Structure 1
């Protein structure tokens, strides 16, 4: 597989045959929550995160798309969907004066706190991100991309997606390697920044440069290291940052073979779930970082994957987002060592978990429908 622990020992573990999975009919699972179905052009809800009580952090998306100038015609409202009811976190449109309409694209939740990201961009090349927080009272602005570089930031290694860890919000952002880099040049790097959840538009703390994709881990975050080959970022390792703001990090795992790449990851406590691409295809790997043990699930030859880790449960899917056929959602419980396969009609690919709940997105009509999120009790 081509992964090694920080000391150089290879990551080895029990290989589980997917054919050993117990197949569960999704109709047999108790539905805890579900977003309403909608057709293209209708108002809809876009899921951003799942909370342990079954509520979904969602963005309410108006049916209108772009205006005549190619910008968002209307902004999105973020809130909770539960018991067939949408509850808004409050209006954030005016918290950044002069901003055009924005869309929310990522969120994280911990306890009663939710952080989320918004941008007015509608392309894949730039993102004037804004980070917001809601703690049960009112929404507040945490940070703006102009704090990193006022003229604007390109998307270098994915969108800036916030996570919560130990009272702070962390996210990765591009930043200029030289004072005035040219648009489209390689004079941009990646760094992980953070700010207190109790703050409001405070200075950002730079945690580390040359890394991205932070995930909650211990008192800090787990970050993804990468190499640029030649302009593409190849993620070949994970490192632990203690959250003290010193800029130091300690390697956790790294690629030990050319061609091995970590394409997705998620964490909960000392457990880490990875989707690893290598010469023979993808594999899902669950790591117990305290025991330094691993469980390996051979996958398919696909670059599309979603993975979520909650306590002993790992949830993943290799569905490509087309929603054309039945595609499985996989669930592994490391306590019971049970592997479950849930064949989901119209599987859209994204999976979530929180507490004892799992969730997935699906399309009722691949040609005309928007994705619906279903939350169930984990089997």
Structure 2
């Protein structure tokens, strides 16, 4: 398996940590929290029939996918440079609504006397010809100075991203920033050192990737539970994207946040909610109208919900199998309460990439073992297409009608990842 130098060392460690949590290997104690605060929503009753609250309208298998072709399923737009800002390696973190890329330019990690050293990333926007970094935060600095950007999300030109100084497999720190396109300024939204130890906390089950809504950014984090077992709980925190107010708890005992406007979708299951049925999960939605279940179902032994994506009309998630060679993707039409299922030929760990738009589902296996295909599912026709395949770096991004997927040339063992940026037809 090849690992691209474009993959920051910090995110590689985060990914490995996430894999061990989803796949039953060595794991930190994050993943359980104290009982919910008064007024928190209670678990829903089990669904009928096979235990799910929804029905399956179609069952697909990625083995049956057809190769997508330029000019038919998509139109090539550009191939971005693999280096930016005088030689920094470009790591693509997201695609924007107009088809540009959110990129972290990072110096390659070095090992000095067996100790990995990273340098500071520069996050900004890259298009076909240029890279424009965001300005430094105007309202403070993180306690850890050298960090690599590992996650980002863009909506309406607002970009929120996560940086980490961690090179420790079992302790991840984070600093979250936001760029405001109106004021053309950046703000520090949160620093994990204000919640837990400066050296970091366990990666929460799923991921700590940030998601941005209309007015707030959300992300999952572990947090200390002094005097209780286990030592860390998991919650979703939030802060206004302009940097105002304070970091606050959005939902306790929750993981995998996905913001859609002013609505927050998330997952509740036993790995982060003590006392919850170990063989069930819930996909929940919190809005101004309240907090409720949009989907629920059964989990077999060793299964977890490892990825979530959402739009205003559809939620999509992956059920991972810790000891298996396959997993299953479900995409639920919220109005019809009917889901499409897709058999995936890899375990489905939380390092996989899953994206959804109003018209398509797009996913890749990330760094998972097994099928490294990058797939595109058209919601209107029900057709499943294979965009490409990249073992160890099966990365995809999508927003609106724009998509990007990674490839590593075979020209050299240290070749940097390139991306195909395209418009859907």
Q: TM-score range by the shorter chain?
A: 0.7 to 0.9
> What TM-score, normalized by structure 2, do the two folds share?
0.75
DSSP-derived class of the 2:204 partner: coil
* Cα pair distance change 1:74/1:318, threshold 3 Å: closer
The answer on whether the counterparts of 1:288 and 1:294 sit within 8 Å (CA) in structure 2 is yes
The answer on whether the counterparts of 2:153 and 2:212 sit within 8 Å (CA) in structure 1 is yes
Q: Residue by residue, what CA displacement relative to the aligned partner does 1:78-111 show, whole Å, maximum 9, x if unpaired?
A: 0011022110012349931653211111111000
Match of 1:288 in 2: 333
- Within 5 Å, give how 1:87-126 maps onto structure 2: 87-92=132-137, 95-96=140-141, 99-126=144-171
Match of 2:213 in 1: 165
Does residue 196 (structure 1) correspond to residue 240 (structure 2)? The answer is yes
* Cα pair distance change 1:162/1:73, threshold 3 Å: closer
Paired with 2:109 and 2:326, the residues of 1 have a C-alpha distance of 40
Higher strand share: 1
Root-mean-square deviation (Å): 3.4
Paired with 2:279 and 2:106, the residues of 1 have a C-alpha distance of 32
Match of 2:192 in 1: 145
DSSP-derived class of the 2:110 partner: coil
DSSP-derived class of the 2:193 partner: helix
Paired with 1:152 and 1:320, the residues of 2 have a C-alpha distance of 25
Match of 1:361 in 2: 406
Q: Unpaired segments of 5 or more residues in structure 1?
A: none
Paired with 2:392 and 2:113, the residues of 1 have a C-alpha distance of 34
Q: Unpaired segments of 5 or more residues in structure 2?
A: 1-43
Match of 2:57 in 1: 13
* Cα pair distance change 1:346/1:37, threshold 3 Å: farther
DSSP-derived class of the 1:16 partner: strand
DSSP-derived class of the 2:115 partner: coil
Match of 1:266 in 2: 309
The answer on whether the counterparts of 1:6 and 1:252 sit within 8 Å (CA) in structure 2 is no
* Cα pair distance change 1:255/1:97, threshold 3 Å: closer
1:187, distance to aligned residue in structure 2 (A): 1.2
Match of 1:216 in 2: 259
- Within 5 Å, give how 1:38-187 maps onto structure 2: 43-63=88-108, 65=110, 70=115, 72-92=117-137, 95-96=140-141, 99-136=144-181, 137-149=184-196, 151=198, 153-157=200-204, 159-178=207-226, 186-187=230-231
Q: Give the count of matched residue pairs.
A: 362
Which of 255, 259, 264 in structure 1 is aligned with 2:297? 255
Q: Residue by residue, what CA displacement relative to the aligned partner does 1:157-204 show, whole Å, maximum 9, x if unpaired?
A: 25532111231011111111116x7xxx7311001111111224x422
The farther-off stretch of 252-261 and 140-149 is 252-261
> What TM-score, normalized by structure 1, do the two folds share?
0.83
